[in-house]
């Protein structure tokens, strides 16, 4: 029995993308056409979110168990689609100041990347998972290099392509070892086989390769070298997309592979230890390198390395508590990081600068955006009462309860250190003055999106019960 509704969200995105290509060809070039196409893409993603939310067939599989619609897939899809929605919003603003002839194609490729990310969340088989991941990353290479007249964007695209292709090869090599050891590509069956299989070098080497390949995608140190250059050079909406949607997809892949396929008592010791080292390295390197940065996108790049380090703690403790903390933090990170990037795009497209110094005196030019930046930065740093604090509380608590006391303490210490660079932005926007007084304009929909992101970030800090209820159900269906 084939259940085609398993890929309806992706199908809607694909149809929207093809519709945009068609409409772009038919109609003459004009401002009205572009804003019409923008709204087509926007409503396509919205429609896709609606399908994900109202699909009743939770916990069903299709395509010979290769695709699964479980609560985890739904959760991942919502995070990815919402971040795609916000990315589209940033795109509309970004292209007002950075012109290109091919804005419609940019929307199309964002939609294609989102199809990959969204399909990845429900893949229960490593070939499907790999193809979905490649659809996401190869589209991201194009997006990173999209501003072809800009040297930074060219450099970003080139670096991302070369290193990304290499990491994909390593990942595939690791998958082939796991396949060689278990003779199956199905994640559930792989787990069954590994339970009975004695531990051997082939499996261990496969795990190391998979960790190396996937860590690149979510930029865990020491596989983060590409992150600052690509994040700085890529068009800002793409940077935002990479730092949230792309990472969320990577984390879902991590959960599927490590918490399902490789979750046997003997193997947990190996990858648990490896992840602890990677998490510690990411937290230390990410936070320390972020401090001296002058460019706001570069700073956010190092910040996202550190954030990936925090989130992976939830994976390595390998229990319900950890997974709960991980999903909660991902959700919080989505709104805080996307909100911060939305504010950055709105401001930097009007002051034509991405230097942190040029954000001085923003409170006079746009009180709302400076307020928003304050809240998002404090949440990312983990200051109570914002949602980031609750998220870190759960993550470090999970680490400490499961024998990773040192990692929990390290995370706390470096969260405090991270306050320094997050507050640098806040200090400039709220305290310093600037000669410029021209107000920053902001459209109604951008205002709405910013306020929603702010509200989520504030409210989840006080009252997270409904979200925790959903996450508990997700985790409960996933791990016993």
Residue from the set 42, 92, 95, 112 that interacts with other proteins by CB under 8 A: 112
Q: Which is nearer to other proteins, 146 or 329 (CB)?
A: 146
Minimum distance from CB of 233 to other proteins (Å)?
A: 14
Report how far residue 60's alpha carbon sits from residue 70's, in angstroms, rounded to the nearest whole number.
Answer: 7
Minimum distance from CB of 312 to other proteins (Å)?
A: 24
| Under rule CB under 8 A, residue 417 binds other proteins | no
| Under rule CB under 8 A, residue 146 binds other proteins | yes
Instruction: Give me the phi and psi of 220, to 5 degrees please.
Output: -85, 140
Minimum distance from CB of 454 to other proteins (Å)?
A: 34
| Under rule CB under 8 A, residue 115 binds other proteins | yes
Residue from the set 79, 80, 86, 108 that interacts with other proteins by CB under 8 A: 108
Stretch that binds other proteins, among 102-110, 223-231, 271-279, 472-480 (CB under 8 A): 102-110
Stretch that binds other proteins, among 103-111, 372-380, 437-445, 455-463 (CB under 8 A): 103-111
Instruction: Give me the phi and psi of 62, to 5 degrees please.
Output: -150, 175
Q: Which is nearer to other proteins, 141 or 376 (CB)?
A: 141
Residue from the set 96, 148, 269, 294 that interacts with other proteins by CB under 8 A: 148
At 225 the three-state DSSP class reads: coil
Minimum distance from CB of 85 to other proteins (Å)?
A: 19
Q: For residues 72-102, b (16+ Cβ closer than 10 Å) or e, as one string?
A: bbbbbbbbbbbbbbbbbbbbbbbbeebebee
Q: Which is nearer to other proteins, 246 or 370 (CB)?
A: 246
| Under rule CB under 8 A, residue 96 binds other proteins | no
| Under rule CB under 8 A, residue 189 binds other proteins | yes
The beta strand positions in 24-119, using DSSP E, are 60-62, 67-69
Name the CA radius of gyration of the chain, rounded. 21
DSSP string, 313-335: HHHHT-SHHHHHHHHHHHHHHHH
DSSP string, 422-450: HHHHHHHHHT---S--PPPP--HHHHHHH
* One character per residue 203-232, x = contact with other proteins (rule: CB under 8 A): --x---------------------------
Minimum distance from CB of 173 to other proteins (Å)?
A: 9
Residue from the set 38, 185, 402, 429 that interacts with other proteins by CB under 8 A: 185
Report the length, in residues, of the chain: 480
Residue from the set 80, 82, 145, 442 that interacts with other proteins by CB under 8 A: 145
Q: How many residues bind other proteins, per CB under 8 A? A: 49
CA distances from 452 to 36, 344, 378 (A): 24, 16, 16
Q: Which is nearer to other proteins, 103 or 366 (CB)?
A: 103
DSSP symbol at 199: P
The interaxial angle of helices 367-381 and 405-430, nearest 10 deg, is: 170
Interface residues for other proteins in 11-50 (CB under 8 A)?
14, 21
Residue from the set 37, 156, 171, 181 that interacts with other proteins by CB under 8 A: 181
Interface residues for other proteins in 434-473 (CB under 8 A)?
none
Q: DSSP H helical segments within 218-361, as ranges?
A: 226-233, 236-241, 247-254, 265-290, 296-316, 320-351
| Under rule CB under 8 A, residue 134 binds other proteins | yes
Residue from the set 2, 25, 26, 444 that interacts with other proteins by CB under 8 A: 2
At 463 the three-state DSSP class reads: coil
Stretch that binds other proteins, among 45-53, 109-117, 243-251, 324-332 (CB under 8 A): 109-117
| Under rule CB under 8 A, residue 128 binds other proteins | yes
By CB neighbour count within 10 A (0-12 exposed, 13-18 middle, 19+ buried), where does 37 fall?
A: buried
Sign of the CA dihedral with 13 first, then 15, 19, and 21 last: positive
Report how far residue 407's alpha carbon sits from residue 350's, in angstroms, rounded to the nearest whole number.
Answer: 41
DSSP string, 97-130: HS--S-HHHHHHHHHHHHHHHHHHHHB-BHHHHH
| Under rule CB under 8 A, residue 132 binds other proteins | yes
> What is the H or E stretch that residue 410 is in?
helix 405-430
Residue from the set 183, 352, 435, 438 that interacts with other proteins by CB under 8 A: 183
Residue from the set 74, 81, 138, 248 that interacts with other proteins by CB under 8 A: 138
Minimum distance from CB of 118 to other proteins (Å)?
A: 11
Stretch that binds other proteins, among 81-89, 101-109, 292-300, 315-323 (CB under 8 A): 101-109
Minimum distance from CB of 135 to other proteins (Å)?
A: 4
Report how far residue 51's alpha carbon sits from residue 65's, in angstroms, rounded to the nearest whole number.
Answer: 21
Written as six digits, the tokens of 377 are 């930065």
Contact positions vs other proteins (CB under 8 A): 2, 7, 14, 21, 63-67, 101-102, 105, 108-109, 112-113, 115-116, 119, 125, 127-128, 131-132, 134-135, 138-139, 141-142, 145-146, 148-149, 157, 180-186, 189, 193, 197, 200-202, 205
């Amino acid at each position: 029995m084939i259940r085609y509704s398993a890929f309806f969200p992706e199908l809607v995105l694909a149809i929207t993308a093809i519709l945009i290509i068609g409409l772009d060809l038919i109609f003459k070039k004009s401002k009205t056409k572009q804003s019409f196409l923008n709204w087509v893409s926007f409503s396509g993603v919205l429609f896709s979110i609606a399908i994900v939310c109202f699909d009743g067939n939770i916990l069903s599989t299709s395509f010979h168990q290769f695709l699964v619609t479980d609560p985890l897939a739904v959760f991942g899809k919502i995070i990815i689609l919402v971040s795609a929605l916000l990315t589209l919003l940033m795109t509309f603003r970004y292209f007002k100041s950075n012109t290109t002839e091919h804005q419609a194609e940019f929307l199309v490729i964002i939609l294609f990347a989102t199809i990959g990310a969204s399909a990845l969340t429900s893949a229960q088989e490593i070939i499907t998972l790999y193809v979905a991941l490649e659809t996401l990353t190869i589209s991201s290479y194009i997006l990173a290099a999209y501003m072809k007249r800009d040297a930074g964007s060219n450099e970003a695209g080139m670096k991302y392509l070369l290193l990304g292709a290499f990491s994909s090869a390593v990942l595939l090599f690791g998958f082939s070892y796991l396949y060689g050891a278990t003779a199956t590509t199905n994640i559930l069956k792989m787990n069954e086989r590994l339970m009975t299989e004695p531990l051997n070098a082939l499996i261990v080497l496969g795990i190391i390769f998979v960790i190396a390949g996937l860590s690149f995608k979510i930029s865990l140190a020491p596989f983060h070298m590409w992150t600052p250059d690509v994040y700085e050079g890529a068009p800002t909406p793409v940077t935002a997309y990479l730092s949230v949607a792309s990472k969320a997809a990577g984390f879902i892949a991590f959960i599927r592979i490590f918490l399902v396929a490789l979750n046997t008592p003997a193997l947990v010791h190996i990858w648990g230890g490896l992840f602890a080292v990677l998490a510690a390295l990411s937290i230390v390197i990410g936070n320390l390198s972020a401090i001296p940065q002058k460019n706001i996108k570069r700073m956010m790049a190092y910040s996202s390395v550190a954030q990936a380090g925090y989130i992976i703690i939830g994976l390595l403790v390998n229990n319900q508590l950890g997974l709960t903390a991980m999903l909660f933090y991902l959700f919080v990170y989505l709104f805080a990081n996307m909100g911060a990037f939305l504010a950055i795009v709105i401001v930097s497209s009007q002051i034509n600068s991405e230097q942190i110094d040029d954000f001085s005196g923003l409170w006079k030019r746009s009180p709302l955006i400076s307020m928003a930046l304050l809240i998002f930065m404090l949440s990312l740093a983990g200051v109570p009462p914002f949602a980031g604090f609750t998220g870190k509380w759960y993550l470090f608590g999970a680490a400490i309860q499961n024998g990773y006391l040192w990692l929990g303490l390290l995370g706390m210490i470096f969260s405090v250190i991270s306050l320094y660079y997050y507050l640098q932005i806040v200090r400039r926007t709220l305290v310093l003055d600037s000669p410029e007084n021209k107000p920053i304009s902001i459209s109604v929909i951008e205002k709405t999106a910013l306020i929603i992101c702010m509200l989520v970030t504030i409210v989840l800090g006080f009252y997270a019960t409904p979200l925790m209820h959903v996450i508990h159900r997700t985790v409960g269906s996933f791990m016993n």
